[in-house]
Amino acid sequence: MSRRVFGAFAAIVVTTLFVGVVVSMFDHVETNPALPLSDAGIIREQAAAKDLDPALIAAVIYAETKFDPRPSPAGAQGLMQILPATAYYLAHLSGGVSFTASDLSEPSVNLAYGSYYLRYLLNHYDGDEMLAVAAYNAGLTNVDEWIARAHAEGTQLRPEAIPFPETREYVRRVLSAQSAYRATYPRQLGIQ
C-alpha cells in the first residue's frame, strides 16, 4: 500500500472516530437544565427492545434521580433506582446469568433492568401506565391491593385515590414529565 493511500485511509479513520466521539457527546448533553436528559441512545435502545415509550423511561429516570444517579437510603441504585433484590429477580426472569448488584451503576445495565421492569408492570396492568408507574414506586403487591379494594367498592383506582401520598405525587410527577420529555426531546428520544 502506498504512503498516499495509507495517509488517506488514516485520515478517514481519524475523522470517523472524531465524528463518532462528538456525536456520542451530544447523547449526554443536557439541553434543558430544568428537564435533564442523558444516555438518550440507551433509552431509545431499551424503549425499542421492550416496546416502551422512551419518554416514559426518561420520566421515570427524572422522577427517580433527575439523571444524577446516587444510591437511595433504601439501597436502590443507578439512574432508575433499582433495588438489588429486584434486579436479581429480574435477572432470573429475563434469563440473566452473570448479574451482580454492582452492575446497577452502569447506565446500560440499569436502564435494561429498569425498562424490563416497566414492561413487566405494564404487561401486568394491561398497558395502564398510571398503575405501572404506581407499582414501580410502591410495589406490585400494594397496587394490586388498592385495585382490589377499588373494585370491591365498584370503582377503578384513580390517581387521587392512591393511599400513599408519596406514590400519588410520584405518579403525577412521572406522567407530567413524560409529556414534557415528549415535547422537549422528540428527536433525541426518537419519537418524531
Q: Are 54 and 44 in contact (CB under 8 A)?
A: yes
Sole residue written with cell 436528559: 37
pTM for the model: 0.83
Q: What is the pLDDT of residues 94-153, one digit of tens each?
A: 887 788 999 999 999 999 999 999 999 999 999 999 999 999 999 999 999 999 999 999
- Count the neighbouring beta carbons within 10 Å of the beta carbon of residue 60: 28
Q: Tell me: pLDDT of 158 over 70.
A: yes
Q: Tell me: pLDDT of 28 over 60.
A: no
Q: Tell me: pLDDT of 165 over 90.
A: yes
Q: List the grid coordinates of 161.
A: 385515590
- Lowest mean per-residue pLDDT among 35-39, 40-44, 91-95, 104-108: 91-95
Q: What is the pLDDT of residues 60-81, one digit of tens each?
A: 999 999 999 999 999 999 999 9
Q: Tell me: pLDDT of 27 over 70.
A: no
Q: Which residues are catalytic?
A: 64
pLDDT confidence of residue 2? 58
Contacts of residue 78, Cβ cutoff 8 Å, sequence gap at least 6 = 65, 69, 104, 105, 106, 107, 109, 110, 114
Q: Which of 128, 86, 115, 129 is nearest to 189 (CA)?
A: 115
Q: Judge residue 141's burial from the number of C-beta atoms within 10 Å of its C-beta, 0-12 exposed, 13-18 middle, 19 or more buried.
A: exposed
Q: Tell me: pLDDT of 88 over 80.
A: yes
Q: Which residue has the higher pLDDT, 17 or 122?
A: 122
CATH of 38-189, one of 1.10.530.10, 3.60.40.10, 2.30.30.110, 2.40.270.10: 1.10.530.10
- Lowest mean per-residue pLDDT among 15-29, 70-84, 145-159: 15-29
Q: Which of 166, 103, 90, 170 is nearest to 130 (CA)?
A: 170
pLDDT confidence of residue 1? 56
